[in-house]
Structures are given as C-alpha cells and as structure tokens.
Amino acid sequence: MSRPWQEALVEGDAPPYAITLGGRPVRTPRKRAVTAPSRALAEAIAAEWRAQGDTVDPKTMPMTRYMNSILDTVADHRADVIEQVAAYGGSDLLCYRAERPDSLVTRQAQEWDGPLTWAAQVLHAPMIVTAGLMAIEQPDASLAALHGAVEAHDDTGLAALHDLTSFSGSLILALAISKGHLEAEAAWKASRVDEDWQIENWGEDDLATKAAHDKRAAFMDAARLLDLSRP
C-alpha cells in the first residue's frame, strides 16, 4: 500500500474516536471505519500512520492491526473469544510445578505464589497447585469467577487479554496485568521462569532466543493496547 495522504488525524470529542487519513476514515480489511474506545489509543493509531514512509508496512503498526482484528473479528465473535480465554484457567501455567531440582521449585514458588494468592483473594478464584504434568481439575467456582473476570472486559480489553494469556500461558498473570496488580514486565518475567532457568543451566539457543524476543514484543504490544484503551 502506498501513501497518498498528507495527514492522519483523530476525529471526535467523545468515544468512539475516528482516525482519518486526508479527511477519509481509516477502514479495516472488511471496510469498517476504524474507531477507538479512548483518545489515547486513537492517537497511537494515528501516530502509526504518520510514521509510515512512501510504502505502508503493517508490521510496524501493532495498534492499527489490533483495532482491525477487534472490529472485524472480536466484535462479531465475542462469546467465542471469551470462552477461548477463560479456558486457560483450567490449565494455568502457575498451577503446574516442577518436582525438582530445588532451585527451580523455589523460583517457581517465588514468582507464582503471589499471583495465585492475589487471584484467590481479589478474584475469589483459589486454584489447586500440583507437581508434575498430570492434568488436574480446578474448582468450578474458581473457573466461574475467572470466566466472569474475562467477560467483564470490553472488546478491546478482551483482545489484549487473549494475547497476554496465550503468550504467557497464564490467565492469572494476564488478569493481574489487567487489574493493575502486576506490571507487564514482571508478568512476562514470571511466565519465563522455566525457560530462563534452563538457559542459565544449559545455555542459550539462538532460534529459541529469537522466538522469545518476538513473543515478548507481542506481549508488550498487548499490554500497551490494554493500557491505551482505558478511558
């Protein structure tokens, strides 16, 4: 896509805010007008368009891509997305612990016990923790509470929560970010306990390091979306 416009602007005095290019609305792949629930997010999208050169590179426009997906997909399939995200509660990373060595067991407890305690106290979702990989069933009341916490998000927050959960493997960590209990960097560090321990003991793999770098960038984009979308 080439760049035929001269300016990208945010239009409107109240949500939803529109983004225009040369006076024309930005549109999703399905030709829906791109709008944002907060002015901060709309300004971030407009800034991505302003930063483009003669050729538009979607890879450099994460907030624009998010709103395209939200408006074209999440809004039409909200119930399905809620179920996908809430399902992580049944197999949350934080609930499956190593049996050994002691150094890893200790590190998991240091990073994961706090968010689980927070979930039990604030979300009313106490979780069962197990050692090993054998699947366990979480309490129905806890899963219902987590489902309600997911459902409470608007479409933009839901899209962010989806990626925070899938990239970390933990719905608890994702909700902790959303509720302001954890900073994104701290949650990412917690999600990487096993991988970081392996690197410290066995060394780095170039491909795995590159994949982790890309995943972290996407995780931080999701956290930024959540932050920018707040009123």
Answer yes or no: is pLDDT of 2 > 70: no
Q: In which region does residue 12 sit, left (phi positive, over 0), alpha (psi from -120 to 50) or beta (all else)?
A: left
Answer yes or no: is pLDDT of 56 > 80: yes
Between CA 226 and CA 67 the distance in angstroms is: 12
Between CA 178 and CA 88 the distance in angstroms is: 16
- pLDDT, residue 133, reads 78
Chain-centroid distance, C-alpha 99: 29
Q: For residues 190 and 169, is the Cβ–Cβ distance under 8 A?
A: no
Tokens matching residue 38: 């907060």
Q: In which region does residue 22 sit, left (phi positive, over 0), alpha (psi from -120 to 50) or beta (all else)?
A: left
Structural domain boundaries in the chain: 8-74, 78-229
Closest C-alpha among 31, 28, 30, 36 to residue 11? 36
Between CA 210 and CA 95 the distance in angstroms is: 27
Q: What is the DSSP string of 69-81?
A: HIIIIITTSHHHH
Give 17-52 pLDDT, tens digit per residue. Answer: 999 998 999 999 999 999 999 999 999 999 999 999
Between CA 123 and CA 20 the distance in angstroms is: 40
- When pLDDT is averaged across residues 165-187 and rounded to a whole number, the result is 98
Does the domain at 8-74 match CATH 1.10.10.60? Answer given as no
Q: What interhelical angle do 62-69 and 206-229 show, nearest 10?
A: 70
Query: How open is the CA angle 218-181-90, to the nearest 5 degrees?
Result: 70
Q: For residues 28 and 74, is the Cβ–Cβ distance under 8 A?
A: no
- When pLDDT is averaged across residues 180-203 and rounded to a whole number, the result is 95
Query: How open is the CA angle 196-194-198, to the nearest 5 degrees?
Result: 55
The model scores a pTM over 0.75 = yes
Give 76-99 pLDDT, tens digit per residue. Answer: 999 999 999 999 999 999 999 999
Closest C-alpha among 62, 9, 71, 60 to residue 37? 71
Q: For residues 112 and 130, is the Cβ–Cβ distance under 8 A?
A: no
Tokens matching residue 112: 């994961």
As a whole number of Å, the end-to-end CA separation of the chain is 32
CATH classification for the domain delimited by 78-229, as one of 1.10.3580.10, 3.10.580.10, 2.60.40.1220, 3.40.50.300: 1.10.3580.10
